[in-house]
Amino acid sequence: MTSVARVIKAGFHTSMQDFGRFGQLAMGITRGGPVDERAFLWANRLLDNSYNAAQLEITMSECRLEFSAPVQLCVTGAATEIRINNVTQPSWQVVSVGPGDQLEIPAQQQRLRSYVAIRGGFLANSCEGSVATVRRDSRGGLHGDGRLIADGDLLQAAVFNDQLPARRPHRELLAELLSKPSLPLRLGIIPSGQFQQFSSAAQQLMVEQTMQVSSAYDRMGLRVIAQQAIPWQGEQLISEPLAVGSIQIPADGQPIIMLNDRQTLGGYPKIATLSWLARCQIAQAGAGTPINFYWQELAEAQAQWRQVAQFFHLPRSG
């Protein structure tokens, strides 16, 4: 393990993430991990890494690193291009850099989260088997205490003697991954939780209006603006376990989508859960993005995830 890079400019919310901290929910410890799993898993795959290798998740703002060793890296997610020593290069491909080289991930206006992966993954001491940063739980990250990446931090990784080819996803797929999504975003949801206790009017309102991502979002969850509120006539719930991707309906009828750092228990009724692909799509949706939910069968959503899991060699889902 050796220091391979120094953070010149961290940006306002950059965190170290592996695939997540699993098996601790009963202790009140949430998962963490990449919000856009697709972008994260692609970067690790292109670098021949384990699916779980730690990366940096950058949220919207510019981020700059300076390398002190020869490494191979890959940037995916929101950034469609990167700069190495001020020379623009495409993202989503394996790039080689050496001592003194600077990598810049430009600030993003439209999409939210970019990922910087390095061959072998960034290294840090793990808490409960994971380096995933969860600020609220004071866990993970470079120092193991949930701190975000800061200017001046030194990033550790293994150094390799051989070189990987400068590969990237095949052309059509890459074009799809880089293209601007067509709006409104179409997000598949499966009925879950208290779905049966919502009125059929409420179930229809979920899919028969175009909603908008509000400006209230972070790694715990995001609020959605629904012109027509989703009504809940049932009683108050006794707090119960909450899955990543589930959609809570609080008393004001404005849906809340739970993301990776969600609290382990929640007291609002849930009407649906996002499919895996829908979670990856919403991970990149900034304030004001119009969205249309559509109902999906559980079997269909599971079949989609099984393909993903096989492609990326995932042992389990989020």
Partner 1 sequence: MNQIKLVTAALDALMVEFENRIDRSINAQVHALKTRLQSVPEVLELVPSYRCLLVYYNPLKHSEQQLKQVILTALEQPLESSDEAAEIATIEVCYDPSVALDSELIGAQTGLNTEQLAALHSGLDYWVYTLGFAPGFAYLGDLPQALQLPRLATPRAKVPALSVAIANQQTAVYPHSSPGGWLIIGRAVALPQLRAGQRVRFVAVSLADYQARVERP
Chain residues in the site for partner 1 (CB under 8 A): 22-29, 136-139, 190-193, 196, 238-241, 243-246, 263-265, 270, 273, 275-276, 298, 301-302, 305-306, 309-310, 315-318
Question: Which C-beta is closer to partner 1: that of 180 or that of 316?
Answer: 316
Query: C-beta of 50: minimal distance to partner 1 in Å?
Result: 17
Residue 112 amino acid letter: L
Q: How far is CA 91 from the centre of its chain?
A: 17
Cα–Cα distance measured from residue 95 to residue 78, given in angstroms and rounded to the nearest whole number: 17
Question: Which C-beta is closer to partner 1: that of 87 or that of 238?
Answer: 238
Query: C-beta of 238: minimal distance to partner 1 in Å?
Result: 5
Q: Residue 39 in contact with residue 66, Cβ under 8 Å?
A: no
Question: Which C-beta is closer to partner 1: that of 61 or that of 197?
Answer: 197
Question: Which C-beta is closer to partner 1: that of 18 or that of 153?
Answer: 18
Query: C-beta of 158: minimal distance to partner 1 in Å?
Result: 29
Query: C-beta of 16: minimal distance to partner 1 in Å?
Result: 18
Cα–Cα distance measured from residue 117 to residue 94, given in angstroms and rounded to the nearest whole number: 9
With b meaning 16 or more CB within 10 Å and e meaning fewer, what string describes 230-262?
bebeeeebeeeebbbbbbbbbeeebbbbbbbbb
Query: C-beta of 303: minimal distance to partner 1 in Å?
Result: 9
Q: Which among 146, 153, 125, 128 is positioned nearest to 261, based on CA atoms? A: 146
Measured over the CA atoms of residue 50, residue 300, residue 266 and residue 37, the dihedral's sign is positive
Query: Cβ of 163: how many Cβ atoms within 10 Å?
Result: 11
Residue 95 amino acid letter: V
Q: Residue 121 in contact with residue 16, Cβ under 8 Å?
A: no
Question: Which C-beta is closer to partner 1: that of 111 or that of 262?
Answer: 262
Query: C-beta of 28: minimal distance to partner 1 in Å?
Result: 4
Question: Which C-beta is closer to partner 1: that of 250 or that of 286?
Answer: 250
Cα–Cα distance measured from residue 24 to residue 16, given in angstroms and rounded to the nearest whole number: 19
Question: Which C-beta is closer to partner 1: that of 227 or that of 310?
Answer: 310
Question: Residues 6 or more apart from 109 whose CB is under 8 A from it?
Answer: none
Q: How far, in Å, are 91, 216, 264, 271, 277 from residue 193 at the CA level?
A: 39, 23, 15, 6, 20
Question: Which C-beta is closer to partner 1: that of 30 or that of 44?
Answer: 30
Q: Residue 121 in contact with residue 18, Cβ under 8 Å?
A: yes
Query: C-beta of 20: minimal distance to partner 1 in Å?
Result: 12
Query: C-beta of 3: minimal distance to partner 1 in Å?
Result: 30
Question: Which C-beta is closer to partner 1: that of 246 or that of 289?
Answer: 246
Scanning the chain, the segments in alpha helix (DSSP H) are 37-46, 171-178, 200-207, 276-282, 298-312
Query: C-beta of 220: minimal distance to partner 1 in Å?
Result: 13
